[in-house]
Amino acid sequence: MKIIILGPPGSGKGTVSEQLAKEFKLFHLSIGEMLRKEAKRNTQAGKKIRRYIEKGDLVPVQLAVKIVKQKVKNKNKYLLDGFPRSVEQARKVEDLDIDLVLYLHLPQSKVIERLSGRLLDPVTGKTYHKKYLPPPKNILKRLVQRKDDHPKVIKERFKVYNKETKPLIKYYQKKEILLSIDASGNPKQVYQLVKKNLAKYIQYNY
Ligand code: AP5
């Protein structure tokens, strides 16, 4: 199974991917997480990536595509979390023969609430939420907010999402591999819904 998880910033792509990868033993590639790791380094490339992320912009297409192609080489069970993010990126990885695109949708107001309460564990890369996915008390002190979860950057990320990423919905609909999931429930409800839809899809197609 080769799956893409698509959705606006903060729609829960990472949260769903983590659970799916664990349960179905899929390789989980979060390109955002990879880029954040790279951005922490004090190299020329790291600094450049940091500037894109902190502005809420996409990194250059060639870089994103190169990372993905390298990471999934010789693999056939994976989840691409946050890639592709534009039709241009999607066209460059047509050869991956993606089976399914899970599109998580929910209203923008909900997404903003999720992003403003998000907490990141810099040690494990795991994500929590102050209200919806409270972290264990013993790690509270080390948790941080992502720099790109600042309201100004969130606004920019949405602009980029609407302009660059949203057209992917039609693109994958035309290919008849898009599954729309209502992601407005709590994390458990959303995951159950994903699994239910996935099971239906597999039953019908295989
Ligand atoms: P990335 O890290 O991928 O950011 P994003 O797409 O904006 O998505 P997020 O990570 O913000 O949210 P998510 O949908 O994973 O939600 P999460 O599960 O965390 O990318 C960051 C940057 O990297 C980009 O802006 C760009 O610069 C660059 N980049 C990445 N990919 C690129 C590409 N392909 N090309 C070029 N550049 C690229 O959940 C959010 C919060 O809500 C959490 O606190 C979580 O605990 C909580 N939550 C989750 N589900 C629920 C629920 N059901 N109910 C209540 N709370 C919930």
Report DSSP letters for 35-62, one per residue: HHHHHHS-SHHHHHHHHHHHHTPPPPHH
Count of other CB atoms within 10 angstroms of residue 82: 23
Q: Which of 9, 23, 7, 21 is nearest to 151 (CA)?
A: 9
Q: Which of 114, 106, 102, 108 is nearest to 6 (CA)?
A: 102
In the three-class reduction of DSSP (H, G, I as helix; E, B as strand; rest coil), residue 176 is classed as coil
62 touches ligand 1 (CB under 6 Å) = no
- Nearest atom within ligand 1 for CA of residue 15: 18
For residue 32, the CA-to-ligand 1 centroid distance in Å is 7
* Tens of each residue's pLDDT in the chain, 206 residues: 999 999 999 999 999 999 999 999 999 999 999 999 999 888 999 999 999 999 999 999 999 999 999 999 999 999 999 999 999 999 999 999 999 999 999 988 899 899 999 999 999 888 999 999 999 999 999 999 999 999 999 999 999 999 999 999 999 999 999 999 999 999 999 999 999 999 888 777 76
pLDDT for the residue numbered 125: 86
103 touches ligand 1 (CB under 6 Å) = no
d(CA 4, CA 29): 10
14 touches ligand 1 (CB under 6 Å) = yes
Pairing of strands 100-105, 178-182: parallel
Q: Which two tokens stand for residue 11?
A: 């729609």
DSSP H or E run through 174 = helix 167-174
Q: Peptide bond preceding 84: is omega within 30 degrees of 0, i.e. cis? A: yes
With the CA atoms of 160, 100, 31 and 146 taken in that order, what torsion angle do they form, in degrees rounded to the nearest 10?
A: 60
pLDDT in tens, 88-114: 999 999 999 999 999 999 988 899 899
101 touches ligand 1 (CB under 6 Å) = no
Q: What is the DSSP letter of 134?
A: P
Q: Which of 75, 65, 86, 121 is nearest to 6 (CA)?
A: 86
For residue 163, the CA-to-ligand 1 centroid distance in Å is 17
Pairing of strands 178-182, 127-129: unpaired
32 touches ligand 1 (CB under 6 Å) = yes
- Nearest atom within ligand 1 for CA of residue 9: 7
Which residue among 127, 128, 186 has the greatest number of ligand 1 atoms within 8 angstroms of its CB, and so is best to mutate? 127
pLDDT for the residue numbered 206: 67
Closest protein CA for atom 27 of ligand 1? 53
For residue 15, the CA-to-ligand 1 centroid distance in Å is 9
Closest protein CA for atom 37 of ligand 1? 58
For helices 151-160 and 108-116, the axis angle rounded to 10 degrees is 140
